[in-house]
Amino acid sequence: MNKKALFATFPQAVQTIIDEKSDRDTTLLKVCQLLHENVDTYDWVGFYIADPEVERELYLGPYVGEATDHTRIPFGVGICGQVADSHETFVVDDVTAQDNYLACSLHVKSEIVVPIMKNGTFMAQLDIDSHTVAAMDEIDQSTLEIICEMLTDIF
């Protein structure tokens, strides 16, 4: 199956996960597993969630991949923190070219971070790291943005 055809299956698969009516973290973990297991270049897939107790800080939610030391990230710091401020998807083809990059692993070469917004408020983000340079393209971005829009209602 080519990439475009594979990615076209993800929204329906995510809808099936949402329809199971599990708790939020179980739903998010299943989305991580779906993406991690089906896309060879997705080496780490996880969610960072805006902490309702600590202003302008993200905490690590469900994820699949290597453990990370970055369990809390202030808004504005690193790619994830920048997306928390900008509310815009950020695709990084080569993390070594970024000044404000928080290295989760020496193996990470590229990253995409997609915000999850609810009624204009930043709620969380999907963060995907790859050990491949320029692993994400417009197919990844558009599909992941659709998935994040679908997840809005669980927040």
Architecture of the domain made up of 3-154:
2-Layer Sandwich (3.30)
CB distance 123 to 117 below 8 Å: yes
pLDDT of residue 98: 72
Question: CA–CA distance from 149 to each of 20, 68, 71, 80 (Å)?
Answer: 17, 26, 24, 17
**Helices 24-38, 138-151: inter-axial angle, 10-degree rounding:** 160
| Tokens coding 86 | 């900008």
Residues in contact with 6: Cβ distance below 8 Å, sequence separation at least 6, in sequence order: 38, 39
3-state secondary structure of 2: coil
Structure-token pair, residue 129: 């790291």
Q: What is the pLDDT of residue 99?
A: 65
Per-residue CA distances from 12 to 5, 16, 17, 49, 121 (Å): 12, 6, 9, 24, 25
User: Domain extents for the chain?
Assistant: 3-154
d(CA 116, CA 113): 10
Task: Please write the tens of the pLDDT for every residue from 53-96.
Answer: 999 999 999 999 999 999 999 999 999 999 999 999 999 999 87
What is residue 95's predicted lDDT score, i.e. its pLDDT?
Answer: 84
pLDDT interval class at 97 (50, 70, 90): confident
How far, rounded to the nearest angstrom, does the alpha carbon of residue 6 sit from its chain's CA centroid?
18
Please state whether the predicted TM-score (pTM) of the whole model is above 0.75: yes
